[in-house]
Amino acid sequence: MLYRTLGRTGVQVSTLALGAMNFGAIGRTTQDEATALVDAALEAGINLIDTADMYSAGESEEMVGKAIAGRRDDLVLATKAGMPMGNERNHQGSSRRWLVTELDSSLRRLGVDHVDLYQIHRWDPRTSDEETLSALTDLQRAGKIRYFGASTFPAYRLVQAEWAARKHHLSRYVTEQPSYSILQRGIESHVLPVTEEYGLGVLAWSPLASGWLSGAIRAGRDITTSRSAFMPERFDTSLPANRARLDAVERLAAVADEAGLTMIQLALGFVTAHPAVTCALIGPRTLDHLHAQLAAADTVLSADVLDAVDAIVAPGTDLAPHEKHDTPPALLDPALRRR
């Protein structure tokens, strides 16, 4: 396992990190299975576990807490808040009122007295940067969180938050967690230059592009990934974006074969090759999935292989731009662009 410094914090983290979104109802994972995944990941040298309050409505945090009992200090523990937790209108977002309340709930579910990294799951356009950063700074000073970060923020919001922290003399985000893979490279043109400028660590999620780069999806095969059942539009090959993805996957498979790599090694090696990326978040549901992904732990792609990837999916290009999670609200809601 390789290790890198998380932004400018001085904390060393593994280049592969364990994402726990599949723990619980989402991945139909039992506690015993989740604990086995944590055991195997830690044994392999992974030392960062990332979860969120909304994963299976808190069940993921509970499972992580039970799995790490007795060894909490041996790992970097990260969670997130901000997505809706139920139907009550104020049980979401990044207001002081909600963050203070929800962090206590996360700590209770995890069975710990602090988390190492507390992340705002999505930018909340209803809440000012000063409000959010002030609350996070106070939670940090209270010892409940060591650092805090952003997740899937547009580049300009990261810059705005940096400006607000400096103006109001508050602590700043130290990480960003964006979606990044060979098939979704848009952040190379805006988010990653900003994270490099401000020294933010980058935890890349969905490096296997929801299974497109797992090796299981190939031309002529039925697509039966776990995601295809509840997100069928992402795998409908009658759609132009998905046909483009399938074509790219076939060409990437040839590159992997020629280099003596699995598709997973190619995909994870690509993500961790970018100098702005600290680690790739893997989210296995089974031990077989985990072991296949751990095979990429020390994969370092040659310049020739990276050039071949660039020739298939151009740098800064998203093959499915409609799946972006950082689109400005005015592009999604017509009412916000009408006088």
Active site residues: 55
Instruction: Please tell me the distance from the alpha carbon of residue 157 to that of residue 177, in angstroms, as a whole number.
Output: 13
Here the tokens at position 316 are 């800064």
Here the tokens at position 51 are 């979860």
Is residue 51 within 8 Å of residue 61, measured between CB atoms? yes
Residue that has been written with the tokens 């103006």 in this structure: 167
In the chain, the largest separation of any two C-alpha atoms, in whole Å, equals: 58
Find the radius of gyration of the CA atoms of the chain.
Answer: 19
Here the tokens at position 97 are 């009122």
Q: Phi first, then psi: give them for residue 72, nearest 5 degrees.
A: -60, -40
State which amino acid sits at residue 122.
R
Instruction: Please tell me the distance from the alpha carbon of residue 162 to that of residue 62, in angstroms, as a whole number.
Output: 33
> How buried is 169 (Cβ within 10 angstroms: 0-12 exposed, 13-18 middle, 19+ buried)?
exposed
Considering Cα of 40, then 65, then 119, then 166, what sign does the dihedral take?
negative
Here the tokens at position 258 are 């020629």
The tally of CA atoms less than 13 A away on the side-chain side of residue 28 is 3
